[in-house]
Copies of this chain bind each other. A is one copy, B any other.
């Protein structure tokens, strides 16, 4: 007999993962060319050549007995790898990280789990800003935290009055995610300043620490010259949760890091506790070869212009068919307003048009669907007639 909590989690399921599986089943049934799966953020563009080269270099050094490659590392990662990441951040953002401020994690998801385990007592609150990555719900529940949603304004940015109202003495953290999944929106300078002001005021009012967890898997995926805010510049109590999944197109490799500056409250204890959390939650350390491999190509990137092309093609086509879309400034998701009931729309798209998208009700944004356009250009091109027919069937054009 499995636990009550897990039984509910299984029955609730992940819409995204269920779609991913359904997509594979539909592809087997109808042929891959006749199914348009936009459900999962599984990047289409290949990892840059530098990544494979970096792995090969590590293997060669190891075989020449000049490298330590597959052994346990410190729980927080190789020191030289953490130093390389600190240096890279410092040179790009003018920050002052040292190796000790970086902890390598098994992707951003493990980073989020490690930091939430580190800070949360049961019943303490974590604020998420709608729309938000639906998995935050599970990560917070893992540590018996209470998720509180802050609604968004008409620009799909956090409503500051609502944020202020939702913070209580039990608020331990706020999660910010820019570029945003599912909206693709980037938080502007003014938004970040307003957000920081609310948090600083509330810390003062309650005499508490409110950590700002900046979930940044899409940091390098920005378009039209947009500038994504460097969150620690706005708020001292910021913990960055980064992943190489999207920048290097290696989500399966599970590599990311936490960056906690010396300005973070209780920083020495925090660093020590994160290291313990990484160990006891099961990861022990982030995969050792891949740690070295990413450190060897920190400036490499997958082909972001490819996603930009997808973005334009899809946004222009869908708006021309009459869909109301939120124009993405980053990441690789497009939020589209469901012209009929969200669940009905998702079902109709899937069953009648073989278009797999995810409703954003579980992202705290009911009435929309999320299209992950990190797919081949061809898939988008092939899907357009079906999107057009779908629009028509919903009375849009």
A residues lining the B interface (CB < 8 Å): 1-7, 9-10, 13-14, 17, 20-21, 40, 42-43, 46-47, 49, 51-52, 55-56, 59, 62-63, 69-75, 105-107, 109-114, 117-121, 124, 135, 138-139, 142-143, 208-209, 248-254, 265-266, 269-270, 272-273, 276-277, 279-290
* Distance between A279 CB and nearest chain B CB, rounded to angstroms: 7
A46 surroundings in chain B (CB, below 8 A): 62
CB distance from A136 to the nearest CB of B (A): 10
A79 CB → nearest B CB, Å: 10
With A254-B106, A280-B135, A281-B113 as contacts: A273 and B10 at CB distance below 8 Å: yes
- Selected contact of A273 from candidates B6, B59, B69, B281, CB within 8 Å: B6
Contact A2–B266 (Cβ < 8 Å): yes
Which residue of chain B is the closest to A41 with respect to CB atoms?
A: B72
Q: Using Cβ atoms and an 8 Å threshold, which residues of chain B touch A75? A: 17
Assembly CA distance A121 to B1 (angstroms): 10
How many Å lie between the Cα of A106 and that of B110 in the bound state?
11
Count of chain copies: 2
Contact status of A106 and B47, CB under 8 A, knowing A121-B4, A253-B288: no
Q: A4-B121, A7-B269, A121-B3 are in contact. Are A282 and B284 (CB under 8 A)?
A: no
Instruction: Name 8 extra pairs, CB < 8 A, besides A2-B266, A6-B117, A109-B283.
Output: A2-B118, A9-B280, A69-B252, A72-B251, A112-B282, A139-B280, A281-B281, A281-B282
C-alpha gap A6/B273 in the complex (Å): 6
| Known contacts A9-B280, A106-B106, A283-B110, A288 near B252 by CB under 8 Å | yes
Pair B283/A252 contact, Cβ less than 8 Å: no
Contact status A284-B107, CB under 8 Å: yes
Residue of B with least CB distance to A256: B282
A290 / chain B contacts, CB cutoff of 8 Å: 287, 289
Interface-central residue, A10, A14, A209, A252, by most chain B CB under 10 Å: A252
A-B contact pairs, 8 of them (CB 8 A): A55-B55, A56-B59, A72-B252, A135-B280, A138-B280, A250-B288, A283-B283, A287-B290
Q: Are B2 and A106 in contact (CB under 8 A)?
A: no
Say yes or no: B252 contacts A70, CB within 8 Å.
yes
Chain B contacts for A40, CB-based, 8 A:
72
Asked whether A249 lies within 8 Å of B107 as measured between CB atoms, the reply is: no
CA distance A290 to B69 in the complex (A): 13
Within 8 Å by CB of A55, from B59, B117, B253, B281, lies B59
Q: Given A1-B265, A17-B75, A109-B284: A118 and B6 within 8 A (CB)?
A: yes
